[in-house]
Amino acid sequence: MKILVCAKQSPDSTVRVKVAGDGKSVDAAQITWAISPYDEYAVEMALERKDADASTTVAVVSLGAARAKDSLRQALAMGCDEAILVSGPGADALEGLAVARALAKVALEAKPDVVLCGRQASDDDQGLVGAALAEALGWPHVATITKFAPADAGAGSVNGIDVWKEVEGGHEVWRATGPVVLTVQKSEKEPRYPSLPGIMKAKKKEIPEKDVASLGIDASLPRPEMVKMEPPPSRGGGKIMKDGDAKQTAQELARLLREEAKVL
Q: Percentage of the chain with pLDDT > 90?
A: 53
How large is the average pLDDT for residues 22-51? 89
Q: Looking at 42-46, 123-127, 144-148, 152-156, which range is the least confident one? A: 152-156
Give the mean pLDDT of 46-54. 95
Task: Using alpha carbons, select from 30, 227, 12 the residue that is nearest to residue 123.
Answer: 12
- Partners of 59 in beta bridges: 4, 82
Residue 162: pLDDT band by 50, 70, 90 thresholds? Answer: very high
pLDDT for the residue numbered 116: 97
Homologous superfamily in CATH for domain 2-215: HUPs (3.40.50.620)
What is the distance, to the nearest Å, from the Cα of residue 199 to the centroid of all Cα atoms in its chain? Answer: 22
The end-to-end CA distance of the chain, in Å, is: 55
What are φ and ψ of residue 144, in 5° steps?
Answer: 45, 50
Comparing 42-46, 101-105, 248-252, which segment has the lowest mean pLDDT?
248-252
> How far is Cα 116 from Cα 180, in angstroms, rounded to an integer?
9
Radius of gyration of the chain (CA): 22
Which residues, in sequence order, are CB contacts of 200 under 8 Å at separation 6+? Answer: none
Residue 126 has pLDDT above 90, yes or no: no
Query: Closest by alpha carbon to 65, among 120, 134, 119, 11?
Result: 11
Helix (H) or strand (E) holding 59: strand 57-63
DSSP string computed for 106-119: HHHHH--SEEEEES
Encode pLDDT of 164-196 as tens digits.
Answer: 998 888 889 999 999 999 999 988 889 999 999
The domain spans of the chain are 2-215, 233-264
DSSP string, 10-35: EE-TTS---B-TTSSSB--TTPPEEE
3-state secondary structure of 63: strand
| Confidence grade of residue 155 (pLDDT, cut at 50, 70, 90) | very low
Residue 118 CA, chain-centre distance (Å), reads 3
Provide the residue type at 189 as one letter: K
* pLDDT at 158 > cutoff 80: no
pLDDT, tens only, 191-230: 999 999 999 999 999 999 999 988 988 766 677 788 888 8
Residues with Cβ < 8 Å from 74, sequence gap 6 or more?
A: 34, 35, 194, 202
Please give the pLDDT value at position 153: 61
Cβ neighbours around 186 below 10 Å, total: 21
In whole angstroms, give the CA distance from residue 249 to residue 148. 51
DSSP three-state, residue 216: coil
- Provide the strand spans (E) within 135-251: 141-150, 161-167, 170-176, 180-184, 209-211
Mean pLDDT over 113-130 rounds to 90
User: Which residues 6+ apart lie within 8 Å of 156 measured at CB?
Assistant: none
